Amino acid sequence: MTLGDFEEMMDSCVRCSKCKFIPQIQIKSKRFSHICPSIEYYNFHAYSGGGRMIMANALHRGRIEFTPEMLEVLYSCTNCGGCEISCKWVYDLEPNEVIHELRVAAVESGAGPLPKHKKYIDLVDRNQNPYGEPSEKRPAWLEDDIELDENSSTIFFVGCTAAYRREEIAKSTARVLNAGGEKFRILGTDEVCCGSPVYRVGDKTKAIEIMKRNIELFRERGVERIVTSCAGCFNMLKTEYPRYVEHEFEVVHISQLLETMLSEGRIKPTREVPMKVTYHDPCHLGRMSEPYEPYEGEKIEILSQVYMWDPPKPERRGAGGVYDAPRNVLKQIPGVELIEMERIREYSYCCGAGGGVKSAFPAFALWTGGERVQEAEATGAEGIVSVCPFCSTNIRDALKSRESKMEYYDLTELVLLSLEGGD
Ligand code: SF4
Ligand code: SF4
């Protein structure tokens, strides 16, 4: 798709600002009513989903050009997709898709992405990961007690963040897989970035190259099923890859597999973990993980200013994301009490790290993480649980900067704590 495919949509934005907040019926307090971290932090309409659509439309119609100021606005967005869910309640537009296409246009024109993004894209080119770490170090997290089965058609796609920065999540994921008797292997030094950091900042060409390379590798290695512990990898492999490349693989997130293992009695949490926790929904495991179906029908005016879609437009309102699996797992851990935050499921507030924001706008990323931490603290819980190494990094940074008493846990770590012999 290109910006031109969104012409009608960009013209339809009525500047109502509903994309700045969670839908009214879901609001529980003014304090936690926003959905868009960008508008909340920068407080100027251009920094909202609707504002960026106006910008995209103006560029598409040749009324403006890319400038450093405009790029700054364009990239101060975590690609969390919250604006899209809120707009769909009223006007059914897709601001997050438009923002992505505007980023693609920025890259294709040579204006984008930002220098920080270019730097990590170069690292992905050279080292196959955005951290610039050597491939040989990718499986360094693997410990002797973790059992791999080199004949399995299931791989644990570790992802760059878990492999190089959040090794504890890679280890606990592998250990819960072992505990449930799930046979799996890893690609080790041959694993490469899923392409998410490159795709999200608009380098679609390079991202598609990475997708093709990964698909080829999966086929060569006889992979049939891919397990991820990262919401970003899950989103790319499950939702974005099928938009650009042929893809026959089953993709599951570890939270879904844990739910299955529990229901089949393959893991039995018996040890008490006495703790009140709250759960953070990663945007890319939740609202953004529904399949994207490009719409090719028509908008028909049936009465004055009353429109309908012919044929009916497929709904993509975030409700079909992965929300129940992690919650159902938490509820089966003895002693764990789950207390929900105000913004949950498709109305969840972003952790603040995505869309290239953590690298280019660290202060904004930290502020957003701090907002989410304050919402978590308001529940009275002692722990904040999630299922994404990238969310983990930003939320941990925010907990530290706020000197919060809360602790962050990956879901797999809590499950391990609840198993006999698992620490
Ligand atoms: S993008 Fe949608 S919700 Fe936002 S201002 Fe435009 S019409 Fe309103
Ligand atoms: S994707 Fe998220 S940060 Fe970006 S404009 Fe939409 S709600 Fe705001």
Q: Please report whether residue 17 resides in a domain.
A: yes
For residue 410, what are the β-bridge partners?
A: 386
> According to the model, what pLDDT value does residue 322 have?
98
Domain count, the chain: 2
- Distance separating alpha carbons of residues 202 and 11, to the nearest angstrom: 22
Domain identity same for 146 and 61: no
Buried/exposed 347-386: b ≥16 CB within 10 Å, e otherwise: bbbbbbbbbbbbbbbeebbbbbbbbbbebbbebebbbbbb
Cis peptide before 311, with omega less than 30 degrees from 0? yes
Last residue in a domain, options 213, 242, 263: 263
Give the per-residue pLDDT at 89: 84
- Pick the atom of ligand 2 nearest to 84's CA: 6
Q: Which of 89, 112, 135 is the last residue of a domain?
A: 112
336 assigned to some structural domain: no
- Per the DSSP assignment, residues forming a β-bridge with 227 are 156, 252
Give the model's pLDDT for residue 292: 87
Decide whether any atom of ligand 1 lies within 6 Å of the 19 Cβ: yes
Query: Is residue 333 one of the residues assigned to a domain?
Result: no
Q: Has residue 90 been placed in a domain?
A: yes
Is the domain of 161 the same as that of 199? Answer: yes
| Domain that includes residue 64, residue range | 1-112
Do 73 and 99 fall into the same domain? yes
Same domain, 142 and 254: yes
- Residue 309 in any domain: the answer is no
Whether 76 is covered by a domain: the verdict is yes
80 and 132 inside one domain: no
Identify whether residues 233 and 197 lie together within a single domain.
yes
Contact 49 CB / ligand 1 (< 6 Å) = yes
Could you tell me the CATH number of the domain that includes residue 183? Answer: 3.40.50.1860
Q: What is the pLDDT of residues 32-70, one digit of tens each?
A: 999 999 999 999 999 999 999 999 999 999 999 999 999
- Probe residue for ligand 2, chosen from 77, 85, 87, 94 as the CB with the greatest number of ligand atoms within 8 Å: 77
- 134 and 198 share a domain? yes
Picking from 141, 146, 139, the residue whose alpha carbon sits closest to that of residue 416 is: 146
Does any domain span residue 377?
A: no
What integer pLDDT is reported at residue 285 of this predicted model? Answer: 98
Let me know if residue 216 belongs to a domain.
Answer: yes
- In angstroms, the CA 34 to CA 29 distance is 10
Is residue 129 domain-shared with residue 257, that is, in the same domain?
A: yes
Q: φ and ψ at 301, to 5 degrees?
A: -85, 110
Dihedral sign, CA of 362, 368, 371, 376?
A: negative
How far is CA 117 from its chain centroid? Answer: 18
Segments of the chain scoring below 70 in pLDDT: 421-423
pTM of the model: 0.96
Tokens 């990262």 correspond to: 230
Residue-level pLDDT at 410: 98
- Tally of CB atoms within 10 A around 337: 14
154 and 100 both lie in a single domain = no
Q: 100 and 170, same structural domain?
A: no
Q: Is 95 in the pocket of ligand 1 (CB under 6 A)?
A: yes
Tell me, yes or no, whether 81 and 180 share the same domain.
no
Among 112, 141, 171, the domain boundary falls at: 112
Please measure the distance between the N-terminal and C-terminal CA atoms of the chain and give it in whole angstroms.
48
Strands 298-303 and 306-310: antiparallel
Same domain for 175 and 258, yes or no, is yes
Ligand 2: list residues with CB < 6 Å: 35-38, 48-49, 52, 77-83, 95-96
CATH number at residue 83: 1.10.1060
